């Protein structure tokens, strides 16, 4: 099978730049947006004042590098492969370890849908500790740590903006568990990034087919598309057919860390019968996915048998797929959740592949009525306990949270999480702040995400306009990502993240000076901004009028204001 | 000229209800959304449990009353005409007072675009004080006050939800200046509503043509459309041709209070030459518009000569049209603003028509960089002084605020406003919380609006996706209104407004029980929610599956969760 590239173009008037490391021979990708000069008439002469380019965080990988010829059937460059090999503490396995993975590999009927290239899995060598947390605790700064330090700072140094983010600072944050740097050696295509309160707020996107929809090509297109618009990590939540093969295509083409919820695939393996789930099937799934390169697993180990009673008090019960599966399993078998019981074994596996654990919020509230209730906070307490257990194995930890929370209850979520989960990074879905707007939940939740991001949440999980109604299309992915870029950036501004205001200030200056093209190019969605303007102008050629279509020339406040300045 | 009705349909499975007053023979309009029963199988039998209908605040006026035949060429019923007449403290004038209005009336070339009916203006009888504030201070509860008390409470009484909102409470809030009840007797078509911190957060929509676009039919359609979707008040910001006639069409068809910025029309009268503006032209414009029925005027009396210097410190100068006009006028003439100098005379005029004054924020920041600066807060101090002067005349006062404010600076805006403006209701544009998303400023600003609404802002002014780029189309109006309904409602939930959670809880219950139609019908935009669902289902007929297209049947958390409950 050959599939088609999705058409993502480069960004207008932008160039891909690569900043050299000082400690390691790394090249950190960023995007530089050029600006037009400010033109003034002085003494009857036209004088140009240059405007410095603006460097922005870039999640789009090689897809926006014109020097790279991209073909999804080849996958993207394996950036970190040599870094990992050179550390000499991993081994390349002769074959994949998981039974299921070997079965799929041996099945010729799958040849038609398989990714055309295969790689041997890599795992910690015997006795070696290879997670970024292990390195950080041992005082080792890795290439990945330097990469993210440079990446977070953009061009702050050149601008004279002081920052606290150094490779050593990154190391300390990871060592303390306050930040996560996803780093599965089997996903060397991923550009290093970091998730933590001290860093820029990140956003996760979800894609994935269900039994009812969507094929491999469509999911790969969504993955590329979400990175193009600004997704920092990507969760593949597929639950339909050919999950294994779909995931391979996604990972091999994904420049950002990939997460999954392994219980979904485990359930598919028992044909959707919760009763038939076993620890052994789940364990094999963990290994299967770790060797494909999944960077973090959502594991609902805090959803316990005890929750079956508690969720009866709720309006919407349990709305987490993973959480509801585990509670049902525990109820059917009258046993404690096997994820909780086998948690240390899970961590032992994950540590060998530096797969981070994202402790799932199986009891997140599914409506504002259920927010901050006993179910939710009991689970959070359990997640705090599990955090320490994971850290004991050197496994990096994220804590998943919110869902539907009215604004006045958001702060308590952040405060309790920080307290009981020992400052492990918080990773929240929204929260959605009112239940009454299906079709607009990217907005109801961007409100909550911006608020909780400002309070210290490290990563926010996007919500698309289709939430509660259907799976997102490409356009929905774009709308969801931009809404969450807005929330994340508004939070960065509010928390005073170093250099966060540079892009805002540049765009505002361009706006005031009627440099329309710069306004578009500096925006999160240049294509849409430009289209809205030109549709209204009904003039496709140029966009340098000194007024806009909202007010017309006589009523342009900025124009009048500039005249005032000239006269005063 | 005849213009066409815009096609607004009734809301699905809803009925218009009218609640009787107890003090006055009034009928308060609301919308009641019926629900389907919850169906359970008990002992093999199908059992239905009814779900109570949900009553919601309704701004759509007679447009959604099937008993009313609507024709924009006739205007809508003059609901308050008899209430006003019966108070006996106003007089009907033999002709319109303003010179400009008389000139337009006498011009036969305008017959073609004139609204087909005319009404004689009404004004306070000599020596009578007729503003709602005057009545409230005199201890009088008006029909309007009872109307809004009933309207704010919906069916709280029947639900046993305790509330503090009584007609007497309304009177006290208006008397204290903490709430505004717009009430120009020349706009008797408007259904009474109230703006104040103690009440549900309201949202204002802006429409209006510019020199570059849009005709009368289009603007009337936008007005009706914005009320249909939930706009609580409507500002006509027209700056193009035939402002006077356009306004007449809008007011005669508008069931919500209408606001304007009279300086816009004054400037048109001097052909856009700021220098030529005079107090006399402005004064005539106030009277012209007051007699047409404008309910509140934005007056930028706090934008002073002193601001010309201050705005030089800014990145985007002055972005308020009215503010920039006044500062330029003051600079040109080297005089203080005539709005400031003649403020008492303005108030004397407004008091005669119970036109509320919305003290304009001419110095609102136009970018996050300029937020909370000296220009802005100097003006706010002036607005505080003007508030007391207006109140001395019995004129109701709103204070306009924000614009672009990063999240960490929002609280200071609310705190200072409350302090220096003596608790007059705050009415804010957004604020927009980051500048980098033109094309999505309904979202950047809904974040700020929700936050400031929670803190006590009484009314938020919507922003559409076209902000900064173009004038909104009908679809943009809808997107903007819904984004702001979300912000306002999220704020109501967060401030614990009595009964605010009823709709959320009902929708959540419907969602959990897979009553898809109820979920759609209870939502802010039933048409879109339903369309998103059905497009994905590709089945136009029915929507009662017990799972959705996001996860498919095996992975439906709510379904699994219900099974758990049944088993536990």
Asked if B331's CB is within 8 angstroms of A549's CB, the reply is no
Write down the pLDDT at residue B546: 62
Token duo for residue B167: 């007609």
Pairing outcome for strands B54-56 and B90-92:
unpaired
**CB nearest to B469's CB, from A274, A490, A536:** A536
Write down the pLDDT at residue B535: 84
Q: Which pTM does this prediction carry?
A: 0.96
CA distance, residue A394 to nearest chain B CA (Å): 32
Q: Interface pTM (ipTM) of the complex?
A: 0.96
Alpha carbon distance B374, B376 (integer Å): 5
Beta carbons of B474 and A541 less than 8 angstroms apart: no
CA distance, residue A188 to nearest chain B CA (Å): 30
Asked if B323's CB is within 8 angstroms of A470's CB, the reply is no
Alpha carbon distance B59, B11 (integer Å): 12
CA distances from A436 to A248, B12, B463, B505 (A): 38, 15, 20, 9
CA distance, residue A436 to nearest chain B CA (Å): 5
Beta carbons of A51 and A39 less than 8 angstroms apart: no
CA distances from A228 to A68, B48, B119, B214 (A): 15, 49, 59, 36
Asked if B436's CB is within 8 angstroms of A523's CB, the reply is yes
- A473: closest chain B residue by CA: B536
Token duo for residue A537: 């102008």
| Residue environment code for B101-131, b if the CB has 16+ CB neighbours within 10 A, otherwise e | beebeeeeeeeebbbeeebebbbbeeeebbb
DSSP annotation of B368: G
Torsion angle defined by CA atoms of residues A312, A318, A319 and A323, in that order, rounded to the nearest 10 degrees: -170
How far is it between the farthest Cα atoms of chain A?
A: 87
Beta carbons of B254 and B296 less than 8 angstroms apart: no
Model pLDDT for residues B514-539, shown as the tens digit of each residue: 999 999 999 999 999 999 999 877 64
CA distance, residue A540 to nearest chain B CA (Å): 14
- What residues in chain B have per-residue pLDDT under 70? 210-214, 538-554, 564-568
Measured in whole angstroms, the distance separating CA B329 from the mean position of its chain's CA atoms is 30
CA distances from B316 to A50, A157, A502, B404, B512 (A): 18, 26, 15, 11, 48
- B329: closest chain A residue by CA: A564
The beta-strand segments (E) located in B110-263 are 122-124, 179-180, 195-196, 202-207, 233-236, 258-260
Beta carbons of A133 and A391 less than 8 angstroms apart: yes
Asked if A565's CB is within 8 angstroms of B312's CB, the reply is yes
Determine which of B322, B438, B534 to mutate to test the interface with A (most A C-beta atoms within 10 Å).
B438
Pairing outcome for strands B426-432 and B397-404:
parallel
CA distances from A398 to A180, A298, A458 (A): 7, 9, 9
Write down the pLDDT at residue B538: 61
**Three-state DSSP class for B91?**
strand
Beta carbons of A271 and A497 less than 8 angstroms apart: no
Inter-chain contacts counted by CB atoms under 8 A, chains A and B = 412
Write down the pLDDT at residue B547: 62
Alpha carbon distance B523, B528 (integer Å): 9
Asked if B561's CB is within 8 angstroms of A318's CB, the reply is yes
| DSSP string for residues in A372-430 | T-HHHHHHHHHHHHHHHHHHHTT--EEEEEEEE--GGGHHHHHHHHHHHTTTPPEEEEE
CB neighbour class for B392 (10 Å; exposed up to 12, middle 13-18, buried from 19):
exposed
Beta carbons of B150 and B21 less than 8 angstroms apart: yes
Beta carbons of B339 and B307 less than 8 angstroms apart: no
Write down the pLDDT at residue B210: 65
- B529: closest chain A residue by CA: A439
Alpha carbon distance B449, B488 (integer Å): 7
| Count of helix runs (H) and strand runs (E) in chain B | 22, 17
Write down the pLDDT at residue B552: 62
Q: What is the pLDDT along chain A (568 residues), one digit of tens a residue?
A: 788 888 887 899 999 999 999 999 999 999 999 999 999 999 999 999 999 999 999 999 999 999 998 899 999 999 999 999 999 999 999 999 999 999 999 999 999 999 999 999 999 999 999 999 999 999 999 999 999 999 999 999 999 999 999 999 999 999 999 999 999 999 999 999 999 999 999 999 999 876 555 588 999 999 999 999 999 999 999 887 889 999 999 999 999 999 999 999 999 999 999 999 999 999 999 999 999 999 999 999 999 999 999 999 999 999 999 999 999 999 999 999 999 999 999 999 999 999 999 999 999 999 999 999 999 999 999 999 999 999 999 999 999 999 999 999 999 999 999 999 999 999 999 999 999 999 999 999 999 999 999 999 999 999 999 999 988 999 999 999 999 999 999 999 999 999 999 999 999 999 999 999 999 999 999 999 999 999 877 643 444 566 665 666 667 777 777 776 665 4
Asked if B508's CB is within 8 angstroms of A316's CB, the reply is yes
**Three-state DSSP class for B135?**
helix
Write down the pLDDT at residue A211: 57
Write down the pLDDT at residue B564: 66
- B512: closest chain A residue by CA: A316
For helices A262-269 and A243-252, what crossing angle results, to 10°? 150
Where would I find the H helices in A456-515?
A: 474-494, 501-512
Asked if A212's CB is within 8 angstroms of B316's CB, the reply is no
Alpha carbon distance B184, B20 (integer Å): 23
CA distance, residue B207 to nearest chain A CA (Å): 10
Element (H, E) at B32: strand B27-33
Determine which of B57, B333, B366, B437 to mutate to test the interface with A (most A C-beta atoms within 10 Å).
B437
Write down the pLDDT at residue A448: 98
Looking at the DSSP bridge assignments, the partners of residue B27 are: B20
**CB nearest to B407's CB, from A211, A434, A494:** A494
CA distances from A129 to A132, A295, B267 (A): 9, 16, 74
The beta-strand segments (E) located in A87-194 are 90-92, 122-124, 179-180
**Three-state DSSP class for B398?**
strand
CA distances from A550 to A77, B215, B464 (A): 46, 14, 12
Q: Which of B244, B249, B250 minimizes the C-alpha distance to B285?
A: B244
Q: Which of A378, A185, A438 minimizes the C-alpha distance to A295?
A: A185
CA distance, residue A519 to nearest chain B CA (Å): 8
Cβ neighbors of A435 (< 8 A, separation 6 or more) are A367, A368, A404, A444, B504, B505, B507, B508, B511
Partners of A324 on chain B (C-beta within 8 Å) are: 557-558, 560-561, 564
**CB nearest to B550's CB, from A210, A556, A563:** A210
Cβ neighbors of A107 (< 8 A, separation 6 or more) are none
């Amino acid at each position: 099978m050959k599939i088609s590239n999705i058409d993502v173009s480069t960004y207008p008037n932008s160039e891909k730049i690569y900043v050299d490391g000082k400690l390691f021979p790394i090249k950190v990708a960023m995007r530089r947006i050029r600006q037009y000069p400010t033109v003034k008439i002085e003494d009857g002469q036209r004088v140009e004042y240059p405007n410095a380019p603006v460097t922005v965080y870039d999640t789009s990988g090689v897809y926006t590098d014109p020097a790279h010829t991209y073909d999804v059937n080849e996958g993207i460059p394996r950036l970190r492969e040599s870094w990992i090999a050179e550390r000499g503490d991993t081994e390349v396995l002769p074959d994949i370890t998981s039974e299921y993975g070997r079965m799929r590999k041996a099945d010729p009927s799958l040849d038609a849908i398989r990714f055309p290239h295969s790689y041997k899995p890599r795992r910690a060598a015997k006795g070696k500790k290879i997670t970024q947390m292990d390195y950080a605790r041992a005082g080792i700064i890795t290439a990945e740590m330097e990469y993210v330090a440079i990446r977070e700072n953009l061009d702050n140094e050149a601008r004279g903006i002081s920052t606290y983010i150094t490779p050593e600072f990154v190391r300390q944050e990871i060592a303390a568990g306050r930040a996560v740097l996803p780093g599965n050696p089997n996903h060397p295509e991923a550009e290093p990034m970091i998730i933590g309160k001290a860093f820029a707020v990140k956003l996760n996107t979800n894609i994935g087919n269900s039994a009812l929809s969507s094929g491999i090509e469509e999911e790969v297109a969504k993955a590329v598309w979400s990175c193009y618009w600004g997704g920092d990590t990507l969760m593949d939540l597929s639950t339909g057919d050919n999950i294994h093969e779909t995931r391979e295509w996604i990972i091999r083409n994904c420049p950002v860390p990939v997460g999954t919820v392994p219980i979904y695939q485990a359930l598919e393996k028992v044909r959707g019968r919760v009763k038939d789930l076993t620890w052994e099937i789940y364990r094999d799934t963990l290994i299967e996915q770790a060797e494909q390169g999944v960077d973090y697993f959502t594991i609902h180990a805090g959803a316990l048998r005890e929750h079956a009673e508690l969720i009866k008090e709720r309006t919407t019960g349990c709305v987490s797929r993973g959480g509801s599966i585990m509670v049902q399993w525990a109820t059917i078998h009258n046993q404690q959740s096997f994820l909780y019981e086998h948690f240390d074994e899970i961590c032992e596996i994950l540590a060998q592949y530096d797969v981070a654990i994202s402790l799932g919020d199986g009891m997140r509230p599914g409506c504002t009525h259920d927010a901050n209730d006993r179910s939710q906070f009991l689970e959070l307490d359990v997640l705090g306990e599990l955090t320490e257990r994971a850290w004991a194995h050197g496994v990096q930890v994220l804590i998943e949270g919110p869902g539907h929370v009215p604004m006045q209850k958001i702060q308590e979520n952040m405060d309790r999480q920080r307290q009981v989960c020992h400052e492990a990074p918080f990773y929240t879905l929204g929260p959605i702040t009112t239940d009454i707007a299906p079709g607009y939940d990217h907005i109801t939740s961007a409100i909550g995400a911006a608020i909780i991001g400002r309070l210290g949440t490290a990563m926010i999980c996007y919500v698309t306009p289709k939430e509660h109604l259907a799976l997102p299309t490409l356009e929905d992915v774009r709308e969801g990502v931009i809404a969450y870029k807005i929330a994340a950036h508004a939070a960065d501004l509010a928390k005073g993240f170093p250099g966060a205001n540079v892009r805002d200030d540049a765009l505002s200056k361009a706006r005031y000076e009627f440099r329309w093209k710069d306004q578009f190019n500096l925006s999160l969605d240049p294509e849409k901004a430009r289209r809205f303007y030109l549709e209204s102008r009904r003039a496709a050629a140029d966009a340098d009028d000194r007024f806009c279509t909202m007010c017309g020339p006589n009523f342009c406040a900025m124009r009048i204001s500039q005249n005032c300045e000239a006269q005063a």
